[in-house]
Structure 1
């Protein structure tokens, strides 16, 4: 289950209940033109913040555009208080050209411009609740959240009441002082591992 799927369900329910009118103009921020976040929904895509009625940040192309590109795109919508949803709050993403700003930083930018953002992915509880429901709502003491982000995976797992295992590769590969990071976020993993992969 993904946070994008949770968002899709929410939008679909809003359509059914009449809280979201048909053909709402959506400014979709994704990678390489990916429209899977809105497939089957009655949105009309717009590439312009001036006439957007909803902003959906599904991904970042921080390896293609600089932050000013997004500032120009978001500013008119944020000024008009257009609601924004971020389905991937990760602030850093790994790309072929190195770490770049993720969708979470774009959500922060939107807020800094005066808009409001609803975040759906980790560390926020809806994604954990949905994943646990899909697994049959097991006893949370038997569940481990595995990830490479202290801010999202560890803090989110703690908030959801499950154990956490921090993967030390990925975005943390070049982090010199993990203790300082743990202290700064007040989030301490139960376990650490150098690598995580599924067995062949």
Structure 2
């Protein structure tokens, strides 16, 4: 990991070193309710100076509805060239269950994930797999699914998790995501399948979009990942071989005391478990 002695003053300090950015969305560009405007402005400025930006999100829906959500929030299209989601990557996994019955966990708002796949929903005792987009409500915890997990395990059902995030920032609170339930199932011996961050399929799709936007192929050292999660963004950057700008002021804000100028060593030690090459950190993305 690069030796860092202080927080990065802004993306402008790193931008000349990179021709492309893969940026997380939830926790970096917005908090689930409203945009982080300094982040939006930073991405707009980066693109205005010739850089390419692909948003890479663990949202469990296909990219189209997520772009619609960003539009509704007022995030301008000038902030990014393209977007890829865990939902996009997960649809490739779900092709193996086309025409079959699965059990489901997650809200109805995630229905677009299944469009056109001819997948039927059924109870746990007849399903051939479990698909988790998120927990059923934002107030749920993985413990609420203990009885269902026992059935899944008894029947040896694979759990396909469309959102590997464990938690996410929503306004001023932290809520559980599908990845937390996937972890709980794996902890009791269940089989889990994922395609979003930090796994390779979503990064391969994101890089293809980045190459397309720029009109040429990027080398790994020309790409900067920006994200707020050690588990997904930092580990994903490490496994894909690209540098990381870590955003401390989201899901890890309390652990790092992010808005009170935490020592650089504390942040570096915190991220080091991922083995990512962290080249900078800041509480909120800004230019």
With normalisation by structure 2, the TM-score equals: 0.60
Partner of residue 68, structure 2: none
Residues in 1 aligned to 2:144 and 2:283: alpha-carbon distance in whole angstroms: 36
How far did residue 21 of structure 1 move? 5.4
Q: Deviations over 1:92-120 (max 9, x none)?
A: 12235721322111101122233201121
Count residues in correspondence.
Answer: 190
Partner of residue 118, structure 2: 42
Contact 1:78–1:111, Cα closer than 8 Å, also in 2: no
The DSSP-based 3-state class of the residue aligned with 2:145 is: helix
The DSSP-based 3-state class of the residue aligned with 2:160 is: strand
Residues in 1 aligned to 2:133 and 2:150: alpha-carbon distance in whole angstroms: 18
How far did residue 139 of structure 1 move? 1.6
With normalisation by structure 1, the TM-score equals: 0.83
The DSSP-based 3-state class of the residue aligned with 1:51 is: coil
Partner of residue 128, structure 1: 203
Bigger RCO (CA 8 Å, 6+ sep): 2
* Cα pair distance change 1:107/1:130, threshold 3 Å: same
Contact 1:25–1:54, Cα closer than 8 Å, also in 2: yes
Q: Deviations over 1:45-80 (max 9, x none)?
A: 12x322221111112346322333222222212221
Partner of residue 145, structure 1: 225
Partner of residue 8, structure 1: 91
Which ranges in structure 1 are unaligned for 5 or more consecutive residues?
Answer: 15-19
Larger of the two Rg values belongs to structure: 2
Residue among 171, 174, 180 paired with 1:99: 174
Residue among 163, 168, 171 paired with 2:248: 168
Residues in 2 aligned to 1:78 and 1:33: alpha-carbon distance in whole angstroms: 27
